[in-house]
A and B are shown apart, each in its own frame.
Chain A
Amino acid sequence: MTVSTSSTTGGEPRADLVTVTIDGVEVSVEPGTLVIRAAEQAGVQVPRFCDHPLLAPVGACRQCLVDVPDAGNGRGFPKPQASCTLPVAPGMVVNTQASSPVADKAQQGVMELLLVNHPLDCPVCDKGGECPLQNQAMSNGRGESRFAATNGTKRTFPKPINLSPQVLLDRERCIVCQRCTRFAAEIAGDPFIALVERGAQQQIGIAEDAPFYSYFSGNTIQICPVGALTSESYRFRSRPFDLVSTPSIAEHDSCGAAIRVDHRRGTVMRRLAGDDQDVNEEWITDKDRFAFTWAKQDDRIGYPMVREDGVLRPASWPEAFAVAARGLAAAKDAGGVGLLPGGRLTAEDAYAWSKLARTGLGTNDVDFRSRPLSAEEESFLAAHVVGSGVEGWKDGAVTYADLESARTVVLAGLEPEDEAGTIFLRLRKAHLAGPLRVLAIAPFETRGLTKVGGTLLPTAPGDEPAALSSLLGHADHGVDKDTIILVGERLGLVPGALSAAAELAAKSGARLVWVPRRAGDRGAVETGALPGLLPGGRPVADAAARVDAAAHWGVTSLPEAPGKDADAIVASAAAGGLSGLLVGGVDPDDTADPAAFRAALAAADFVVSLEVRATDVTAAADVVLPVAPPVEKAGSYVTWDGRVRPFEAVLHTPAALPDCRVLAGISEELEALGRGRRLGFRTVDEVRAELGQLGPWDGEAPAFTPVAPVTGGGEGLALATWKTLLDDGSLQDGDKHLAATARPAVVRLSPATAAQVGVADGASAVVTGDRGSLTLPVEVEASMVDGTAWVPTNSYGTAVLARLASPGSRVSVKGADQ
């Protein structure tokens, strides 16, 4: 009798798999698989505490003991084995608690011992209800405590101690599984917590002068299998069984980390890392975890407002739409309307902005870039970025997995630990696992670069083009087709730098990726919130592309005049050109010239602001339309690698409308006034459907227009600056404990430069630029390039663009007492 091969298995059985028998069930697993995970495939959950699939095995808690009557060589182990440290071997026979009384007793014994010194404070413990110790004590432990029955005395500690301003440790709850210390040492590379003392007194400790400062510290709380680690933000705030959990996507950077948002009665209580092997694995930054209170501050706008007699007064939505539409229509007739949506929108909302500009207000004057920008950058985005990696469009784009398999990663204008934490963690993982070489074109060796084992190519601001060009055929740092070049959005400010990166990629075969800072940046590129791009990468300058978009939108034509970029919109409005401004989530201090931006707001005849909270823009606006923060709306972020990350609303607040709904309301009133055509959608689902029908542009992408580098420095020091992960950003408002873990603001100088300007390490120095002065402590950094000063862009009190220097300008440094 022949056995027919079933076609449902979907492929040949793989010869390299290892077959073991677990509780009588044969399973075939990858070589090297640990028994504890092979058991999962056999449908058996072996209880465990110290084991974590993303951490190196340690075998400390001994909870996962199993009986191994045959190690695969015909001989068994005389003693139960920890299944979390034992790799499978062909022919191995394993009996877990499900079939072996020995394993079951061993596990019950360890569980009993774990509870010897564990307090019975589950009713007041934050972990109670979602606690692996509590759950597994119920499933694999004994009901009555023999320790308590024999009047045992538990070890106690004073409660709790701060490991950092945010993370607290209740030592008596700790079962010293070392998950937290291993995470800190292995995953984040911030080994600021370690075991101290021994025996039952063994505990997690910090050095007195080195608290647990890590951008990723919150992950230790999440992977703690007991309630030993808690956050100041969440401790004693709620019980897990009262929470409603919703999967979502973090709004703080372009990484698209999966998160879980837990809310109770309309209030978000906490956020946790989601589990997405393709993106963030199981880790998120502390910003993604703790920075969610910003949407619930007192200055949240609760209703539409219109300006009457110089004062904003509440208005109904219909009235506000009508007033906004009348004002915009008039402004359109007078001098035109510029649209500044900002970089934090969902792709759906950005699409609404893009479409309203073209079909409602008849202009290409729309630019999401609410920060310093360049024409070179826009050309680069149109030629090299739009569409890449978006599913079903341009394949072969770089993914997170590619970062792990690349031989070389070049970082230019990008500090991943500060600006894209998920990328940083992938680079560190790749560095620890294999031969990944990271080359950073940066002014100094950051802590993040050290942690990914990177090599610094010391580069002063402005010299990036030459540094990039030098990598071609470089004796030590040559790049090839197994190289990935990650360019941060900052690089666009250096004339010729993106051109040099594009040339390097073209000549070496390396792959080139643009990593923006904000969650909405990439989605705004894809949906055409740029003066030169329509949605789907359709070039405004291409008549066929305009016709294609117009046909989809049911309009006869689209504006063909080249649009103004954000800087030009601001300049025009300030000079009396553009008469109206429609502004989204833009902080004037983020823009290239904050003073000019404020002047434009003052000069414009009519300003409409779509905002979550009161800002300088809402204060100057004629109509204020409150929009929903991400937690209260559905949408999608497009990540740096072109991944579309949809999410649904966590909180359903009737009064909070997404931008697309608000803009639809305006467009309908505009249509009623005979200006343009209504957007034709009102909900996020309708936008998604329309985006799906529109699809990408299949014609020629516009050619990139290279820009020549500018040589020559000037007086004073070059200014290097970027935003640190935790700083004064308004999306971190409301969590003082998180804020306290931010790295202190300093001015970094090389030893030679510090000596030259006469300041010492730790001294106070005054940094002066064309827009003002900042007083900061000096940090002398040995790896820093000479003639350069580094200052965080927006740490507490260091709003560089508003208070120190214009983009690309130079600064001077002197001692505070000089």
Chain B
Amino acid sequence: MTDTLTPVLTEPWGVDRSWTREVYESRGGYRALDTAFAMSQDDVIAAVKDSGLRGRGGAGFPTGMKWSFIPQDASTEAGRNPKYLVVNADESEPGTCKDIPLMMANPHVLVEGVIIASYAIRAHKAFIYIRGEVVHVIRRVQNAVREAYEAGHLGTDIHGSGYDLDVVVHAGAGAYICGEETALLEGLEGRRGQPRLRPPFPAVAGLYASPTVINNVESIASVPSIVGNGAEWFSSMGTEKSKGMGIFSLSGHVKRPGQYEAPLGITLRQLVELAGGMRDGHELKFWTPGGSSTPLLTAEHVDLPLDFEGMAGAGTMLGTRALQLFDETTCVVRAVLRWTEFYKHESCGKCTPCREGTWWLVQNLARLEKGQGSEEDLDLLLDQCDNILGRSFCALGDGATSPISSSIKHFREEYLAHLTHGGCPFDPARSTAWASSQQEVTA
């Protein structure tokens, strides 16, 4: 089954000192740059459009189309304003672990992508906004940018093309909300990270009220291979509407958790096989397709194609392809409570439904987890979710309801079992990483 994998971004991860410019260049790095410079900016945008690349940050918006929204007409004020590229490297979604290892192992592919994307949208300044907690990654990207400057990949007259670009690596300050692109812009401008009112949209008035493209790390890192190998090469992978490859990060109760780069449309069954299967003696109970904000699925969904359409068809989202897998030792109520506590902790506080709703959801879930309350409280929980979903200012509030409503949908009986059992019927120790099937751990 190994031929299911299509390592492109992850291809050099095993190479010694893969993160250095020397290694990157020795494997063909920074050559797509010249290909791009030989094309017009609009042709670069067209190539990315043709490739079918869709945003890898979760929403799946076509990347080339996003670039083409940037006003270039010099007769308008927006067209005259400077353009900015901002890379969203604030990877914070529970379960998502693709951008951080990518930047750690292969930062130059991101830098090269930044240069090509900036060239295409006619930006002369780009920002990489990296989650503040991952200091080692920030250092690595800073180093890569420094190396790129030294080699003439950044700065003025790059590769003799006459094109100038400066890149700023910016460290976040520890807020999940700053992964929301307008909150990220607020943070980048030095303000409190809270989402902005739209319109105006960032494509017209984003960073410093100027036209701005905000792309995920993986989206930008995919650009050099598209420019280098051609749009057709990219679109030959994947499914009809979800083209190309993507990094699937598997975590939880699988034997070999990690990042698996494969064409979109691969199934969980295939990925679990690649990861060596579930823990011995255990079977899959539930999983998230794209992080905790995407409604969870169960073992019956393992053969669905992992692409945007396949997941939407199952009432969930592909998200960031953060596959968290839980076996039958896991209490779904407890798992959902943990996630909900995360959202409560990370709610920025701007809008009422998310701020107050997460506060209350945690209390209600905690009661249920302790076996307190009645079946009516499940309906209350669902009604709370209904009053938050689609009522919040941004998608954080929506995401907070996903694990709850989807878990009640699939595991209502398990919630009720807590009530009849007078508490959690599971032994939490059995779900730990150090618990083996042979060795029962007693509290």
Contacts and interface: CB of A to CB of B under 8 A. Distances in A.
Interface in A137-166: 146-147, 150-153, 155
Given A79-B390, A199-B348, A113 B197 contact: no
Closest 4 pairs between A and B when the two form their complex, measured CB to CB:
A109-B387, A202-B349, A79-B390, A113-B356
23 contacts: A58-B197, A60-B350, A60-B393, A61-B351, A62-B353, A62-B391, A62-B392, A62-B393, A65-B391, A78-B390, A79-B391, A106-B391, A109-B386, A110-B387, A116-B359, A150-B367, A150-B377, A155-B359, A175-B352, A195-B194, A198-B177, A199-B349, A200-B356
Given A105-B386, A150-B380, A200-B355, 14 more contacts: A60-B351, A60-B352, A106-B391, A109-B387, A109-B388, A113-B352, A116-B356, A116-B360, A150-B363, A150-B377, A155-B359, A198-B346, A198-B349, A200-B347
B31 interface: no
Interface string A54-73: 00011111110100000000
Contact of A57 (B197, B344, B350): B197
A176 B360 contact: no
A571 B3 CA distance: 108
A62 B355 CA distance: 11
B289 interface: no
B17 interface: no
A198 B380 contact: no
Contacts of A79: 390-391
A85 B198 CA distance: 9
Nearest to A147: B360
Nearest to A117: B356
Interface of A: 57-63, 65, 78-80, 85, 105-106, 108-110, 112-114, 116-117, 146-147, 150-153, 155, 175-176, 194-195, 197-202
Contacts of A58: 197
B175 interface: yes
B353 A202 contact: no
A197 to B, nearest CB: 7
A13 to B, nearest CB: 29
Nearest to A151: B367
Interface of B: 175, 177, 192, 194, 197, 344-353, 355-360, 363-364, 367, 373, 377, 380, 383, 386-388, 390-393
Nearest to B393: A59
Which of B192, B197, B356, B393: most chain A CB closer than 10 A? Answer: B356
A110 B391 contact: yes
Contact of B364 (A78, A85, A109, A150): A150
Most B CB within 10 A of own CB, among A79, A108, A147, A199: A199
A152 B360 contact: yes
Nearest to B354: A199
B390 A113 contact: no
Contact of A202 (B344, B348, B360, B380): B348
Contact of B373 (A80, A105, A150): A150
Nearest to A153: B363
Contact of B351 (A62, A80, A112): A62
Contacts of A85: 197
B307 to A, nearest CB: 22
A595 to B, nearest CB: 55
A384 B105 CA distance: 78
Contact of A200 (B192, B349, B353, B388): B349
A810 to B, nearest CB: 46
A509 to B, nearest CB: 32
Contacts of B347: 198-200
Contacts of A112: 387
Nearest to B363: A152
B348 A114 contact: no
Contact of B353 (A108, A113, A155, A198): A113
A80 B359 contact: no
A665 B257 CA distance: 99
A57 B357 CA distance: 23
B354 to A, nearest CB: 8
Contacts of B344: 199-200
B363 A63 contact: no
